Structure 1
Amino acid sequence: MSDSLRPLARPRLYEQVVASLREYVQAERLKAGDRLPPERDLADRLGVSRTSVRQAIVALEVQGLVEVRHGGGTYLLRDRLDAEPLEVMIDRRRRLPDVLDARDALETKLAALAATRRTDNDLEKIDAALAAMTDAVQRGELAVAEDQRFHAAVTAAAHSALLADFMAEISQPIAESRTESLRQPGRPAQSLHQHQLIAEAVRSGDPEAAARAMHTHVDSVGHVKLLEWETNSGE
């Protein structure tokens, strides 16, 4: 028998809360920095439990769309609550640890090689990427493209065609891990400092220092709310 008439999946209640919050933000013309109503008020107005509201807020926080200030309420970090589908988040959460392992293995080695093989032209490209990242962070941006540019410059400076090919093979999941990291509050400035340390070690020709700096950076990339997120809705 055909499985085309299989049972329909019912959206979790807190996913419906997220959808309602998105509509509320649009209707009220709220912007980044504005505060959402308290959880108790949201629960009363939506006719749901505070647990469902809290789960919705956590899902938005994981995606870098809101900031929860303990004792101070929930504030928008973006002008819109364009939340990802739950399944997309779960899938990325599942593969992120493997991506981070691969990044650590590959990029730590690439940084060490770059410290011993970089040319003056390579250093110019690394410095240009750093300058662009600095400007982006100072403008309050996440600096995702500039971050990618820096890592590409370090990879090129290693002058290892095979390792560069390996990096290209996993470029998409690496991009996901980069965005996931940089949308954590305060992370762009922290990442900029870490990149400066990597560049300094590469410039000084110290492969061990370059490897340590890159390892520290990739390790911090893994400190994201997504990996702490509990996906059980409970309702």
Structure 2
Amino acid sequence: MDESITPAPRGHAADAALEGLFIEILDGQLAPGESLPAERLLAERYGVSRITVRQAVHKLKDVGLVEVRQGGASRVLDPARADARVFELLLRCADRLQSDAATRLLRDLAEYQQLYAIGLLEAASRHATDAEREHLLQQVDTCPATLDAADAQRLEDAFWRRITAIGRNRILQMEMALWQRWTDDQDAIDGDPAELRWFYLTLARQLLARQDPVPFYLASVRTTSA
């Protein structure tokens, strides 16, 4: 385990302990079945109080990464058995994970995001009115032909928010609300912003023409991932 962890700034102590322990578990520095270090040691490592450490451990318990034993040492659980609430921590800590297992998990997360987008497009294809499809196309078409990275990010966010709304699936809408809260505009746009505009313009045109947008979406993301 890394003993040279820099304490977090005041006000972020709870996040430092929670995210630090999460990274150690996901990267295998704390292996499944292993006991967590004593609260005193963890408090020293992260520069926080023992109460803060205890709160972090219980949050990890809630997502299925730690088993808390009354009167005994808490034990690390297999990350593969954690539930979906681990997504938030995964998104927050993605750029600090280094192990092969964590890299595979991040690939799985990227694939899941693509599958989720397919669900959003399918729902929009089923439920959007002609007026909503026209409005979506206008929303993309009025974007400048030349976009910088910030403009491209705004276009992407606005497109998927609109797709989610016109799809009228409450479960997908709830999940989108979670993604927006978790990512907090931290995602970076991959590729050429101009190509991104063309990509969303094509999807909007297919929806307006009542063509299935999923084959085009899949072909595009598979090309990008190749």
Normalised to the residue count of structure 1, the TM-score between the two structures is: 0.47
Greater RCO (CA < 8 Å, at least 6 residues apart)? 1
**TM-score calculated relative to the size of structure 2:** 0.48
